[in-house]
């Protein structure tokens, strides 16, 4: 989903584009139905951050800022997984293949996400599905390199 699509679908959340501290490297924060996003980010970056903020809205309980706590890291990871599914998903990988995207850069641009976010999502999918995933008439390979193949 695009940044705008997410805003429309989750319009019950208060979204603020603000100046966040450069010191902590923060790009976004979620608290009690409010998502703050660093306003100097690109639209693709904002979409990734918003998707993760929505993931926190749907799954996170309490203050998880202390990432030395394993339970907080697990909640952070759950929110990130939701963001991968919102922004990419296996169907998004297939759609980018059908759109003739031939590089990760082109896929990221087509899916309106950052290359870093796409790479992290592919690593997550590889850890979830193993070497490949089969979906409808497609096989999505994660190893030895990423690829999508249509089964005739």
Token couple for 143:
């190893």
Rg of the chain taking only CA atoms, in angstroms: 16
Domain topology for 1-87: Arc Repressor Mutant, subunit A (1.10.10)
Termini Cα distance of the chain? 29
CA distances from 80 to 49, 100, 134, 143 (A): 9, 27, 23, 22
The two beta strands, 14-18 and 34-38, are parallel
CATH 1.10.10.2910-classified regions of the chain: 1-87
Q: Is the peptide bond before 144 cis (omega within 30 degrees of 0)?
A: yes
Per-residue pLDDT of the chain in tens (152 residues, 90 and over written 9): 899 999 999 999 999 999 887 657 789 999 999 999 999 999 999 999 999 999 999 998 888 888 889 999 999 999 999 999 999 999 999 999 999 999 999 999 999 999 999 999 999 999 999 999 999 999 999 999 999 999 98
């Amino acid at each position: 989903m695009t940044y705008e699509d997410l805003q429309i679908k989750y319009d019950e959340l208060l979204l603020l584009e603000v100046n966040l501290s450069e010191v902590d490297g923060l790009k976004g924060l979620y608290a009690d139905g409010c998502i703050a996003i660093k306003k100097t980010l690109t639209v693709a970056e904002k979409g990734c951050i918003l998707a993760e903020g929505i993931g926190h809205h749907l799954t996170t309980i309490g203050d998880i800022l202390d990432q030395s706590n394993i339970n907080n890291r697990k909640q952070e990871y759950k929110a990130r997984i939701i963001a991968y599914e919102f922004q990419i998903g296996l169907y998004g990988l297939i759609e980018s293949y059908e759109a003739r995207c031939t590089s990760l850069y082109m896929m990221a641009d087509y899916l309106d996400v950052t290359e870093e976010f796409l790479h992290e999502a592919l690593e997550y999918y590889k850890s979830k599905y193993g070497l490949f995933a089969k979906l409808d008439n497609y096989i999505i390979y994660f190893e030895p390199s990423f690829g999508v193949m249509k089964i005739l």
